[in-house]
Structure 1
Amino acid sequence: MSVVVQVCARCAARWPVLGSPAQWCPRCHGVLLAPVRTDQHQPPASRGFRWIARSPLRRSGLAAEAPTAGPTPHYTEIPRWGLHDHVESPSARRDWPELLAGKTASFLTLTAGLYAFAVIAELGRYAVLLRNRTRLIDPTLLAVSDIAVFLGQAGGMLLALLSGIGGVCWLLRMRRRTFARAKTSDPRTPTEVIVGCAVPGLNLVMPGVYLLEVIRRDPRAVLLVRAWWSLWIFGAVLVVFNWFWRSRPGLQAMADSVLLAAFTALVASATAVLALMVLRRLEGRTLKGAKEPVTRWVIATGPPPPQTDAEKPAEKTSEAGDREAVAP
């Protein structure tokens, strides 16, 4: 059934035409378009094309090409298209504080070894002095003794300086990791820590304070820090006393200064060993640098299980063998 309607240009409502065509839409008061019949399809005016259906079997002048046998298509090289994984090259700039902090344990080990060598060299020099009381000393032996003392003392001082610089870098790294693990901020700035470890006089007191602030409920670590702290102050007092003792005149004072230098080097070597033990303890490692085994404590819920019959004869047999071995 064909019906004549008018379409609103504003709201797209359709209104049947009963008499003469209307001009305004009763709903939105928009303009009504010209009357059209509903049985006729009117394509939109904005469409600039129209669909034409054709049979797929009818081709206009196109002949099917016969397949030809040819080589299989393949790439002559790896395709360069696609997603590229750009790997950023590592920065050429080295983190020297982190590098020195990682080498602190090696510096302390070498320092302890060189000061131990200095102890032997000083004792050897004292033995040369004792022998020189009654006999002449070979110049070669005297030169070897002087070189050994110089290498031990000078090398120990140089490595002790490197150990101190590396120890400050390690302390800053340890404080940063400890307070970050506790999700708190470090109450001391890096500048304050460096000044406390570098200024003479302060460096006898503040390093121990900084280390104790890092320790979290570890009695053994506290004991190690206090032992190192005491030996560190005692070694500084020995160095000052050694300087004053060397200014005394006389051959006996010079001979005594050799023994005092040997004892000072021994204290320095022990201080380096204790510093290495403190470092390893706070890092959770053994003295050799291996991971410290974790001890798991289990609460006992009852008495130990009784021994089985198979274990008792074995114990009796071993005891009888021991008696036979002891009996004459």
Structure 2
Amino acid sequence: MTQPPYGAMPPGQRLVDLCRVCRIQAPHRAGRIRCPRCNGILVVVPVDQVAQALAQPRPPAAPITPHGAPQQRPVGGPAPGRIRWIAQRPPEARPGPRAANLHRSRPTPRYSSIPRWGLQDLPASWQDIPVETQARSEALKFVAAARQVAVVLGIAAVFHVLRYLVAVVGRDHLIPAWLDIVTAIFVQASGVAALLAMGYGLARFGQWVIAMRALAYRHVDRLEPRRSWVLWLFSVFPLVNLVTAPFLLREAALVDERVLTPRTHLELRKVWIAWALVNAVALTAIVMRWAGHRSGSLQTQADALVWVIVSGVVSAAFAWWMIPRLVAVFNPAAGPARAPSRRRWVNA
């Protein structure tokens, strides 16, 4: 260790390690010869002679070791002051080896046409679509179609009554051939007209459901979550709409707060019960009519005519009275339905 000529050091005197290059000092420690900052030579100086040692000219700095050459380390001494710390993860936290990249062998996906899935393609201003006008127009068309269907079904029921009277009279008396032919033609023609009228009424019902639900979701600033063809299919397809149509109507009623009242649920329940009764009678009439033609019995055919007459009357009554009540529940201009006030009579 290099000792400056500061004279003999008395025993017990406090010593420090001084670097005259970077001017740092620390309590003396045996074996420390290099400065931890600049790697210069440390000198041991008494505490009271530090200022005298610093006043002397600085020695030249230690030469910088090239990057590629290894630094000489003194044998038996500590490590150099410039230490590079490298942080490593513990073994249990180290990631595993990367899997081989298999995506390079796969072909690039291609589409024969532009994909239509994803977000809905809305117009520039979807709130400008006149859904309220469409709903009001479809409601008027639906009510008018229901009245027309009721008239056609009523006429068909009258022709079936005439045919039934001819069959009853023909059991005991002879009837003219022209009367049998004319009543048979009227029954067949009225049956075809009734089927066409029912199809037209169901189509108008599907359009009204689509427009009514669009208006209900517009009032809560939302878009219709179901596609139009799904709504139309669930509303028009026979026997299926017995379950799906009430569900679509109830879903719209739950969304629109204007019509969400206890009376709305009561009216929807009444319409559904009447609709189920109409379907049950119509299905029975179809089965009886098929059985009458297969059996060839006049009595069975007469019974089938009775069921057809009952089905026509029930369906006409439903179309004439229940359809306007159903539309009134979701009428855009009527507002929420109010329960009728009860009247109490008292003695004066």
The TM-score bracket by the shorter chain reads 0.5 to 0.7
1:185 aligns with 2:223: yes
* Of 249-258 and 190-199, the range deviating more from structure 2: 190-199
In 1, distance between residues paired with 2:154 and 2:281? Answer: 15
Aligned length: 200
Q: Can you list the C-alpha shifts for 1:80-106, whole angstroms capped at 9, x where unaligned?
A: xxxxxxxxxxxxxxx999976642211
Q: Can you list the C-alpha shifts for 1:160-216, whole angstroms capped at 9, x where unaligned?
A: 111111110010000000111122333322222123234454233111111122222
Residue segments in structure 2 that go unaligned for 5+ positions in a row: 1-132, 254-259, 342-347
Equivalent residue for 1:261, pick from 308, 317, 326 = 308
Question: How has the CA–CA distance of structure 1 residues 235 and 276 changed in structure 2, closer, same or farther, with 3 Å as cutoff?
Answer: farther
Residue segments in structure 1 that go unaligned for 5+ positions in a row: 1-94, 286-290, 299-306, 308-328
Aligned AA (2:197): L
1:107 aligns with 2:154: no
Question: How has the CA–CA distance of structure 1 residues 294 and 126 changed in structure 2, closer, same or farther, with 3 Å as cutoff?
Answer: closer
In 1, distance between residues paired with 2:247 and 2:208? Answer: 15
In 2, distance between residues paired with 1:229 and 1:243? Answer: 21
Equivalent residue for 2:211, pick from 167, 173, 187 = 173
Question: How has the CA–CA distance of structure 1 residues 122 and 204 changed in structure 2, closer, same or farther, with 3 Å as cutoff?
Answer: same
Equivalent residue for 1:162, pick from 200, 204, 207 = 200
Partner of 1:123: 161
Q: Secondary structure at the match of 1:279?
A: helix
Aligned AA (1:182): V
Aligned AA (1:137): I
Equivalent residue for 2:243, pick from 187, 194, 205 = 205
Question: How has the CA–CA distance of structure 1 residues 294 and 226 changed in structure 2, closer, same or farther, with 3 Å as cutoff?
Answer: closer
* Of 270-279 and 161-170, the range deviating more from structure 2: 270-279
Equivalent residue for 1:221, pick from 254, 267, 270 = 267
> How far apart are 1:128 and its partner, in Å?
1.0
In 2, distance between residues paired with 1:244 and 1:147? Answer: 18
In the alignment, is the contact (CA less than 8 A) between 1:224 and 1:277 conserved in 2?
no
Partner of 1:271: 318
In 1, distance between residues paired with 2:286 and 2:151? Answer: 23
In 1, distance between residues paired with 2:195 and 2:307? Answer: 16
In 2, distance between residues paired with 1:139 and 1:227? Answer: 43
Partner of 2:191: 153
In the alignment, is the contact (CA less than 8 A) between 1:115 and 1:268 conserved in 2?
yes
Q: Can you list the C-alpha shifts for 1:144-171, whole angstroms capped at 9, x where unaligned?
A: 4234323432222111111111110010
In 2, distance between residues paired with 1:201 and 1:259? Answer: 22
In the alignment, is the contact (CA less than 8 A) between 1:111 and 1:159 conserved in 2?
yes
In 2, distance between residues paired with 1:164 and 1:116? Answer: 17
Identity of aligned residues (%): 19
Question: How has the CA–CA distance of structure 1 residues 145 and 230 changed in structure 2, closer, same or farther, with 3 Å as cutoff?
Answer: same
Aligned AA (1:253): T
Partner of 2:330: 282
Partner of 1:237: 283
What TM-score comes out, normalization by structure 1 length?
A: 0.52
Q: Secondary structure at the match of 2:295?
A: coil
Q: Which has the larger radius of gyration?
A: 2
